[in-house]
Structure 1
Amino acid sequence: MTDQTERAARFRALHERPEPFLLPNPWDAGTARLLAGLGFEALATTSLGVANTLGRHRAARQDILDNCRAISEATPLPVNADLENGYADDPAEAAKMIADACASGAVGASVEDATGDRRTPIYDFGLAVERVRAAVEVARGLPVPPVLTARAENLLYGVAGLDDTIRQLQAFEAAGADVLYAPGLRTLDQMRAVVSSVGRPVNVVMGFADPSITLEQLGEIGVRRVSIGGALSRLALRSFLDGARQMREGRFGFVTEMISLPELHQAFGP
């Protein structure tokens, strides 16, 4: 059994157990190792985190793949790759990125139905389903088939409502997606409605949700995977800016809040 095969098996098994698992989103090798040291069982890349690192609004295709490789090589944990819309509208072209992500070490891949065009932010229903179908075909044809997550993004862009989200996710399930994901779900009732309407594991991202919702509550309604998107990256940048603003004002109290060097050395090893 190859290392990637073993990681893929572990990742699939996480989706099959009765309680949800946490899938945090590092943005480089260092944050991946810190998260692994805290005992997380799997990791997911974040395209927003990559863009933040590069100082851009959006990372390029190769940036995403390079980041996927760096995070996959940083720890033994399974890695799910955030591939945005596959950087192509055409279903076959977009699906190629799944193969490239797996060649970069990923054992899971997420593809979304957001176009990247503000004028028409969501693909038409038929094209969105065709894109998932093409992604499934590529994923199942790989030597180590990844866990394929299909994302319905309409709530993030204010396009239609929850009924449309559910219709989209049900179509993605019928097209063969392994995991279903609708960023923008905010309440436990919305999450419950999605989970009860489909038969595949559901990922909930807490970066957009009511933060008072607990992992125990998510488990009770049947959520199987809980991610955070780019929230940890944004949290780190907030802390960075707070410290930099203090420094700009001639104050240095922020140094009392730094992580210690011994803690970093322990996390990163020799």
Structure 2
Amino acid sequence: MRSQLEKAKLFRALHERPGAFIIPNPYDAGTAKLLAAMGFEALATTSLGLANMLGRTSVSLEMILQNARDIVAATELPVSIDLENCGADSPKLAAEAIRLAAETGAVGGSIEDNTAGPERSLYDFTLAVERVQAAVEAARSLPFPFTLTARAENFLHGRNDVEDTIKRLQAFEAAGADVLYAPGLYDLATIKTVVSALNKPFNLVMRFADPTLTVEQLSAAGVKRISVGGALSRVAIAAFLKCAREMKETGSFTFVREMATIKELRGAFAAASG
């Protein structure tokens, strides 16, 4: 069994080696084991995938942390947690989520610069930076190298402002964040513009980016980490709905031809469990 310290060092090493790596987003223990069995080197949770799994439009920090515990326990891989806004507006309370994330066994986590309220507005620039600073302090107080990812959410909230996104990411970098993240970037030119303005590793989420882009292209553009957010969950739900519609609308069951075999599933689960 790898210790949390060993996982943390392994996770850091992935960010330091040449080229980009994929960090897929399982939404439960089963999908985590499948991804581990396929040879991925690290995992990141997805709050959207968790909400979909639970049939909710949003999830609490407590739900996020419990989901992370399940995923951490499922494999030997390093796990980073999608902590959304860390469950609080104030820097001090948001930083507490970092300590709680570490207690799940995870070795990384993210903090967003948007609120969790119905309006989902961005935090004022100064407050956003203060929140990252507090999260960094909490991460540095841990007995292992917790990888903190700071997210600038402009593009997810209709503010397609590259300059402000870079300004926020640079401030988060200066505050000590280990990885920078700006979900919503689509084209390679914009991605290059943002990444070239930063010195720390950049995470690109393919849920919003041009799906024709490849790991090779993104690596050449300077992207270090590639995630997919809630995409795997949404694709799985799309397949579920397609099968359900076939039963309901045509009374047929041809979808059973596409099932994963029991042998394949049991083999993957056994491999991931060691």
**Structure 2 length normalisation: TM-score?**
0.96
Question: Matched residues in 2 for 1:108 and 1:218: separation?
Answer: 22
- The aligned counterpart of 1:202 is 202
Alignment of 1:1-270 (within 5 A): 3-119=3-119, 121-159=121-159, 161-249=161-249, 250-269=251-270
- Name the CA distance, whole Å, in 1 between partners of 2:100 and 2:145: 12
| 1:33-86 Cα shifts (integer Å, max 9, x gaps) | 000011000000000011111110111111100010100010000000000001
Residue aligned with 2:200, SS: coil
Q: Distance in 1 between matches of 2:119 and 2:20?
A: 36
Contact 2:2-2:76 within 8 A present in 1 as well: no
Q: Which amino acid aligns with 2:253?
A: F
Q: Distance in 2 between matches of 1:134 and 1:160?
A: 27
How many Å separate the matches in 1 of 2:229 and 2:65?
17
Structure 2 Cα separation of the partners of residues 96 and 86 of structure 1: 8
Q: Which amino acid counterpart does residue 189 of structure 1 have in structure 2?
A: A
Helix, strand or coil: the match of 1:192?
helix
Report Cα offsets for 1:79-114 as digits up to 9, x if no partner. Answer: 000000011000110110111011001101111011
**Equivalent-residue separation in structure 2 for 1:246 and 1:185 (angstroms):** 35
Compared with structure 1, are the counterparts of its residues 61 and 120 closer, same or farther at alpha carbon in structure 2 (3 Å cutoff)? closer
Consecutive aligned runs of 4 or more in structure 1 exceeding 2 Å deviation:
116-120
Query: Which amino acid counterpart does residue 10 of structure 2 have in structure 1?
Result: R
Distance (Å, rounded) in 1 between the aligned partners of 2:159 and 2:123: 11
Give the total of aligned pairs: 270
Cα distance in structure 2, aligned partners of 1:13 and 1:39: 16
Percent of pairs with identical residues? 59
Note if contact 2:47-2:59 (Cα within 8 Å) is conserved in structure 1: yes
Q: Distance in 1 between matches of 2:18 and 2:3?
A: 25
Return the alpha-carbon distance in structure 2 between the equivalents of residues 63 and 118 of structure 1: 19
Distance 2:207 2:50 in 1: 16
Q: Which runs of 5+ in 2 are unaligned?
A: none
What CA distance in whole angstroms lies between the structure 1 residues aligned with 2:105 and 2:159? 34
**TM-score normalised to structure 1 length:** 0.98
Using the alignment, how far apart are the partners of 2:70 and 2:101 within structure 1?
11
